[in-house]
Amino acid sequence: MKLELRKGTEQDVEACLPVFLDSAIYERYFRGDDRLERSLRGAAGRGELYLAVTEQGEIAGAMRVVLRGFCGLYPYLSLLGVKASFRGQQVGSWLMEQLEEMARASGASRVTMMVSDFNTGAQKFYAGRGYWTLGSLPDAAKKGITELVLVKEV
């Protein structure tokens, strides 16, 4: 499948919401209110929302990246999602390749993120891409959930 990376705008937010529905992150952090929409709108407004778009113009995946979000030094992946109908088709891997290329192009030597302790599938995915655990932060984003800080040299 051929994908194009483009920056998301506020006009893309509605079409981007389904990317995160039916995911563990949505269930634990966003269900029940408009936090996801507000988060995506804010990211789009700050130029932090990136979309994987198919040749037919459908949003297959999305990520929120703060280019100097980790100690003002390294790109920080704040959110990554793949629409349910595109899961298993390498969209997440493609997005990670784009992120790592963005990091190199910006002069950064690392990429960083936090992954929730319950999200074992994501932990395995990132470990397979060479990410290692720098540390853990209990209750960092939500009480009762520990966030693992992951890092990769790029």
pTM more than 0.85: yes
Residue 32 has pLDDT above 90, yes or no: no
pLDDT of residue 5: 98
Q: At what angle do helices 35-45 and 13-20 cross, to 10 degrees?
A: 130
- pLDDT value for 33: 85
Closest CA to 29 of 144, 149, 150, 148: 144
Number of alpha helices (DSSP H) and beta strands (DSSP E) in the chain: 5, 7
- Whole-angstrom distance, CA of residue 109 vs CA of residue 8: 25
- Containing domain of residue 112, as a range? 3-153
Number of domains in the chain: 1
CATH of the domain at 81: 3.40.630.30
Per-residue CA distances from 127 to 28, 114, 124, 151 (Å): 22, 13, 5, 10
Confidence category of residue 149, pLDDT binned at 50, 70, 90: very high
Section 133-140 average pLDDT: 97
Report yes or no: 100 and 137 within 8 Å, Cβ to Cβ: no
**pLDDT by residue (tens digit) across 49-106?**
999 999 999 999 999 999 988 888 899 999 999 999 999 999 999 999 999 999 999 9
